[in-house]
Structure 1
Amino acid sequence: MCGKISFCLLVSLLLTVSLAAPHDHEDHSADHHQHLHHGKDEPHPSHDGDDDLSSRLTPHNADFAFSLYKKLAGLPDVQGKNIFFSPLSISMALSMLALGAKGETHSQIFSSLGYSALTPDQVNEGYEHLFHMLGHSQDTMLLEAGSAVAVREGFKPLDKFLKDAQHYYQGEAFSVDFSKPEVAVQEVNKYIAKKTKDMITDMVKELDPDTMMMLINYMYFRGKWKIPFKTGRTTKADFHVDEKTNVTVDMMGNTGFYKFYDDRSNFSSIIMVPYKGKASMMIVLPDEGKMQDVEKNINKEHLKYWCDRLQRSYVDLFMPKFSTSSAFSLADTMKEMGIVDAFSGTADFTGITEAKNMKVSKVLHQAVLKVDEEGTHAAAATTIEMVLMALPTMPLPMKLNRPFLTFIVDHSTESILFMGKITNPTA
């Protein structure tokens, strides 16, 4: 890992038979590991207004991201723990699920995502463009997003659903023998591990033998800091988890020009730490004792307010070196956010199969974050940047020695790729 932050996210939706009625075991239409999306070298299909469609999703996805964050932050079992997830990946997975939803089931999914004013075509074409934009990798940054449909051997989804998953969500289909849960777990985890560069290897612990299908969405990001941290400046330091708890961390240090804003009215300091490429880590450091106030009120308007006021400043930045992961079972959270029918006997997924007894049984989510200081490829850029103006005698201090919020933003699509809260870098 060279001067990078790495993230992996998987959302899996397990669609199972909700009634005991047997299924007709027709020949399945998804050949094993059949790639359904258009070829890598084929021209990407275009639609008039692509940019408008993808940017039209952005404010709704941001609202969903903060609504979901507040739900997760309020869960009893995450109090005092780190939170990290990809709201965009979850939105993508639910939107792919909506391809096969009808009636009230579809309405609830779209309403919870904030898409009620949009047509299915607008949403699907918006995501088609988003996948295309996010799929550009560079030597200094790698961002991969994709989807898959794991289909039970003998189960035949509708061709339209498979084709739409391919066309709009870069979905690939492969067959799995879900009737043998232990074998199925191994195969699904093997697929996930491959797509996440072995950062997530055992996400799925068990599967119901009645599982008919699993929808998978994954996102992987690797970026090199535009201004790399020098390993010689990393020292042991205290991180104040709360009023009674201190932990020792490897605190990275760097002095350079960053976009920075000190927001006294919202009790926060904000810094944008850029990667080489078109992404940045936006860090919000609440004042001591003000994390809950910031969490309660934060929304997409705050991010826009801060972005509009960030100014290029000479900053002495201290950031802990850490690794963390989060795993959530999101079914109950999705129900609280309005997606109810999808999990019940009233679910209508007749856009996936003609069978009327399909429902969602689980929504699983896992994300991994690793932050370190290594990297040499940014040295020239740092030198060029730092000679553009005279150095102030005293840099502004920014020391992340207490809980902070973090956002990974993609500038080309104005999307929040990942977000979370680091409460304890050693946990």
Structure 2
Amino acid sequence: MKNLLCLCLLLAALCAVTHCHYEDICHEVNNTNLHDGRQNLLAHNCDKQGSNYADFVFRFYKQVISKEADKNVFFSPMSISTAFAMLAVGAKSTTLSQIFEGLGFDGLTETHIQDIHESFHKVLAVLNCTDVNITLNIGNALFTAIGYEPQETFLQNTKQFYDAEFLSSDFQNPEEAKKQINKYVEEKTKGKIPQLIGRLDPATVLVLINYIYFKAAWENPFDPLRTYEDDFFVNTTASVRVKMMQHDSDYDSYYDHDLSCEVVELPYQGTARALLILPDDGKMKQVEDALSKETVCKWDNKLATRRLNLHLPHISISGSYDVKNLFEEMGITDVFSSKADLSGISGSHDLWVSQAIHKALLKVDETGTEAAGATAIIVSRIHHPSDTIKFNKPFIILISDKKTSTTLFMGKVVNPTVK
């Protein structure tokens, strides 16, 4: 029987907060890292064809909603793809091509594979080197069974490209191993994800972990004194009471007449931004069917500054996904079966992935670092006419980093009160 390899993917928390401290020591990252002549294959690039990696975000989203059409969705494509790209360091033949093609990378020559790993390395380095306004920590870890030694090349490459931390674990004692890994994850996520792993098999020899923790303050914070209780319409027959935030300011926005939806960009301090998509009544499926790199590029090109009276609910939602089942339906199958070729890890064909877990948490509120200043702006401009956009029904959210042009998080808020 093949040994088990458990792949665990993790998104810890997304929060809009008042104070964001620089919590990790940033390795010196040269500003030319993403512009050294080689294309960043992870970038959501509207000007070039590039890879199809950007569309992995939307393909995974559509796979999730095919199972849970009327439920909250929240996940990190960056976390999921990083973990599987790290696994691909030890994959070969069809297993390798299925993983990378599933992530949107075609034409897998040896040079192209090297470029993919280099792109992840550069993007992770830049994301981990944020300024004082954002806390964005992404990390990887490999827990190996006591006495089990992966191939030296695999260890070297996961360290070189993914800066992986190596730890040993006694999988013969599954409960203790589970506690050890869950404690590690809990510490890395500031207590947000205390129970990532629910079970482990004694046959497990390796657990790969990716975590991502993000905290940022709104560039235009909401005034808590203007927050009020209101209805959020989960569907045409049901509603929930929410705390509805409200703010008058200039926002980049666009109304897409073809898809019948409002698109509003909410910038964070620093290089991150949230893109909120509010479909008209009955148009959610139409918008979801059209989600693609090209659609988002169109929205970005059409965004124009206008005065908005924006209403946005407090959000506290989470997502938990069996990535194994979702990926199998996306064509990534061999790695989860006896056909798996992970010989780059073990030196033989004796490994397969038994679990792939992803958990995510989203929290949004009014707070920001310049709330008083924003209130003053509101007062000084209150006489200007403004359009009201009220997010009081299901909407889609995309969080991206402008510096690397990568999508960090994606979700759909159906009920902002369901954790």
**TM norm structure 1:** 0.86
1:61 aligns with 2:61: no
Counterpart of 2:94 (choices 104, 120, 124) is: 104
Rounded Cα–Cα distance in structure 2 between residues aligned with 1:46 and 1:101:
32
Could you say if the C-alpha distance between residues 48 and 410 of structure 1 is closer, same or farther in structure 2, counting changes exceeding 3 Å?
closer
* Aligned 8 A contact 1:314 1:392 in 2: no
Could you say if the C-alpha distance between residues 391 and 113 of structure 1 is closer, same or farther in structure 2, counting changes exceeding 3 Å?
same
Look up the match of 1:71: 63
Look up the match of 2:401: 410
Using the TM superposition, give the Cα deviation of residue 48 of structure 1 relative to its aligned residue in structure 2, in angstroms.
Answer: 7.9
Look up the match of 2:335: 342
Using the TM superposition, give the Cα deviation of residue 40 of structure 1 relative to its aligned residue in structure 2, in angstroms.
Answer: 5.5
Look up the match of 1:332: 325
Could you say if the C-alpha distance between residues 109 and 397 of structure 1 is closer, same or farther in structure 2, counting changes exceeding 3 Å?
same
The Cα offsets for residues 293-351 of structure 1, whole Å up to 9 and x where unpaired, read as 11112111111100111111110000001211100111121111121111111211111
The 5 A counterparts of 1:352-367 are 352-367=345-360
Could you say if the C-alpha distance between residues 233 and 52 of structure 1 is closer, same or farther in structure 2, counting changes exceeding 3 Å?
farther
Rounded Cα–Cα distance in structure 1 between residues aligned with 2:384 and 2:28:
53
* Aligned 8 A contact 1:256 1:386 in 2: no
Rounded Cα–Cα distance in structure 2 between residues aligned with 1:246 and 1:204:
33
Counterpart of 1:83 (choices 73, 80, 90) is: 73
The 5 A counterparts of 1:128-139 are 128-139=121-132
Look up the match of 1:425: 416
The Cα offsets for residues 68-99 of structure 1, whole Å up to 9 and x where unpaired, read as 00000011xx2321000001111111111110
Could you say if the C-alpha distance between residues 291 and 43 of structure 1 is closer, same or farther in structure 2, counting changes exceeding 3 Å?
closer
Rounded Cα–Cα distance in structure 1 between residues aligned with 2:94 and 2:372:
55
Rounded Cα–Cα distance in structure 2 between residues aligned with 1:270 and 1:63:
19
Rounded Cα–Cα distance in structure 2 between residues aligned with 1:248 and 1:46:
46
* Aligned 8 A contact 2:316 2:362 in 1: yes
Rounded Cα–Cα distance in structure 2 between residues aligned with 1:372 and 1:81:
21
Q: Show structure 2 runs of 5+ residues with no match.
A: 6-23, 45-51
* Aligned 8 A contact 2:56 2:104 in 1: yes
Letter in structure 1 aligned against 2:366: E
* Aligned 8 A contact 1:226 1:381 in 2: no
Rounded Cα–Cα distance in structure 2 between residues aligned with 1:243 and 1:328:
27
The Cα offsets for residues 39-62 of structure 1, whole Å up to 9 and x where unpaired, read as 957656999875554632224332
Look up the match of 1:317: 310
Rounded Cα–Cα distance in structure 2 between residues aligned with 1:121 and 1:18:
27
Rounded Cα–Cα distance in structure 1 between residues aligned with 2:118 and 2:347:
25
Rounded Cα–Cα distance in structure 2 between residues aligned with 1:342 and 1:196:
28
Letter in structure 2 aligned against 1:406: I
Rounded Cα–Cα distance in structure 1 between residues aligned with 2:27 and 2:307:
45
Rounded Cα–Cα distance in structure 2 between residues aligned with 1:396 and 1:42:
44
The 5 A counterparts of 1:164-175 are 164-175=157-168
Rounded Cα–Cα distance in structure 2 between residues aligned with 1:147 and 1:140:
23
Look up the match of 1:28: none
The 5 A counterparts of 1:210-221 are 210-221=203-214
Rounded Cα–Cα distance in structure 2 between residues aligned with 1:415 and 1:391:
35
Look up the match of 2:190: 197
Percent identity of paired positions between Structure 1 and Structure 2 = 37
Q: How many correspondences in the alignment?
A: 390
Using the TM superposition, give the Cα deviation of residue 392 of structure 1 relative to its aligned residue in structure 2, in angstroms.
Answer: 6.3
The Cα offsets for residues 382-402 of structure 1, whole Å up to 9 and x where unpaired, read as 867997xx7763211110000
Letter in structure 1 aligned against 2:412: K
- Partner-residue secondary structure (3-state), 2:258: helix
CA RMSD in angstroms, aligned pairs only = 2.4
Q: Show structure 1 runs of 5+ residues with no match.
A: 1-14, 20-38
- Partner-residue secondary structure (3-state), 1:97: helix
Could you say if the C-alpha distance between residues 97 and 269 of structure 1 is closer, same or farther in structure 2, counting changes exceeding 3 Å?
same
Could you say if the C-alpha distance between residues 339 and 73 of structure 1 is closer, same or farther in structure 2, counting changes exceeding 3 Å?
same
Rounded Cα–Cα distance in structure 1 between residues aligned with 2:132 and 2:31:
26
Using the TM superposition, give the Cα deviation of residue 237 of structure 1 relative to its aligned residue in structure 2, in angstroms.
Answer: 0.2
- Partner-residue secondary structure (3-state), 1:56: coil
Rounded Cα–Cα distance in structure 2 between residues aligned with 1:300 and 1:344:
31
Letter in structure 1 aligned against 2:249: G
Letter in structure 1 aligned against 2:3: V
* Aligned 8 A contact 1:196 1:219 in 2: yes
Could you say if the C-alpha distance between residues 245 and 381 of structure 1 is closer, same or farther in structure 2, counting changes exceeding 3 Å?
closer
**Which has the higher mean CA deviation after the structures are superposed, 117-126 or 299-308?**
117-126
* Aligned 8 A contact 1:50 1:129 in 2: no
* Aligned 8 A contact 1:50 1:125 in 2: no
Rounded Cα–Cα distance in structure 1 between residues aligned with 2:72 and 2:93:
38
Look up the match of 1:4: none
* Aligned 8 A contact 1:322 1:370 in 2: yes
- Partner-residue secondary structure (3-state), 2:64: helix
Look up the match of 2:9: none
Rounded Cα–Cα distance in structure 1 between residues aligned with 2:39 and 2:346:
28
Rounded Cα–Cα distance in structure 1 between residues aligned with 2:179 and 2:195:
8
Could you say if the C-alpha distance between residues 219 and 292 of structure 1 is closer, same or farther in structure 2, counting changes exceeding 3 Å?
same
* Aligned 8 A contact 1:405 1:421 in 2: yes
**TM norm structure 2:** 0.88
Using the TM superposition, give the Cα deviation of residue 117 of structure 1 relative to its aligned residue in structure 2, in angstroms.
Answer: 2.6
